[in-house]
């Protein structure tokens, strides 16, 4: 299933043209704009036989509202939307090396976009987010993710705790990131079927989420007396690439 929407900004539109041009339906560029990157976007779209229109700034604002568009937006038929019933197939296809990211209530679209960018770069199997009390994949998320929102399966789930138990039944070991944990992230073996569970801004992991993790671990922070905790997108990147390091080395 696909859904039509608008994406905005130079990086987001450039990424869509480079990595998923078949789903770009139309590009709107601010009339009179001289930015070389906008000119390159126009050329790139035309080379791919995608319609390009020059419009005034008011027209662009009318499409994306208050979102900063940098002079370019694209009408986009998002690739596939994923259903939680497909998670089992994704895990099985990973053949014992599934790498799942579970985000418990991320509220800031910029954070979610950054998390998705790291997940795509790490070749994560899927990213799970709750349908409620969490930002969903919107135009801001797509812009921040620079195209990653459509290159990694993002699966909104109705009940996060139940989805976590389902993953455990599939042989996925769930590690929750918590600052008060005793075990270091770097003491783990992250080469098999692994789910990395991270909390949202502020409160971190909710009680039920913590209880459904197989183990709680922490990112060692020698300078923690000056830094209370890492931003969720930074913690996601650190955790994912420790898994990548281990997998590449094995």
Give the model confidence (pLDDT) of 93-134 as tens digits. Answer: 999 999 999 999 899 999 999 999 999 999 999 999 999 888
Residue 34 in tokens: 């001289």
Q: Name all domains of the chain by residue range, CATH numbers in brackets.
A: 4-77 (3.30.1330.30), 84-249 (3.40.1280.10)
Query: In Å, how far are 30, 43, 192, 226, 244 from 181, measured between CA atoms?
Result: 51, 52, 22, 19, 22
152 close to 19: Cβ distance less than 8 angstroms? no
Whole-number pLDDT of residue 128: 97
What are phi and psi for residue 191, nearest 5 degrees? -90, -15
Give the model confidence (pLDDT) of 39-93 as tens digits. Answer: 999 999 999 999 999 999 889 988 888 778 899 999 887 666 789 999 999 999 9
- Provide the whole-model pTM: 0.76
């Amino acid at each position: 299933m696909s859904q039509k929407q608008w994406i905005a900004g130079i990086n987001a539109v450039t990424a869509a043209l480079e990595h998923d041009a078949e789903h770009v339906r139309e590009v709107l560029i601010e009339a009179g704009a001289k930015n070389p990157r906008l000119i390159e976007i126009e050329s790139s779209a035309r080379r791919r036989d995608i319609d390009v229109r020059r419009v005034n700034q008011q027209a662009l604002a009318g499409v994306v509202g208050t979102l900063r568009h940098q002079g370019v937006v694209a009408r986009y038929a998002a690739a596939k939307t994923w259903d939680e019933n497909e998670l089992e197939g994704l895990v099985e296809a990973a053949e014992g090396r599934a790498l799942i990211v579970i985000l418990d209530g991320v509220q800031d679209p910029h954070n979610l976009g950054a998390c998705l960018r790291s997940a795509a770069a790490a070749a994560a199997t899927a990213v799970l987010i709750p349908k409620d009390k969490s930002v969903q994949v919107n135009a801001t998320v797509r812009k921040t993710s620079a195209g990653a929102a459509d290159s990694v399966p993002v699966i909104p789930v109705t009940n996060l705790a139940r989805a976590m138990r389902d993953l455990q039944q599939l042989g996925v070991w769930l590690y929750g990131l918590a600052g008060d944990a005793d075990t270091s992230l770097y003491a783990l073996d992250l080469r098999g079927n692994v789910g990395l569970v991270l909390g949202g801004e502020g409160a971190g992991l909710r009680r039920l989420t913590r209880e459904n993790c197989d183990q709680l671990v922490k990112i060692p922070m020698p300078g923690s007396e000056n830094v209370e905790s890492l931003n969720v997108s930074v913690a996601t990147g650190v955790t994912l690439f420790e898994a990548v390091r281990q997998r590449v080395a094995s």
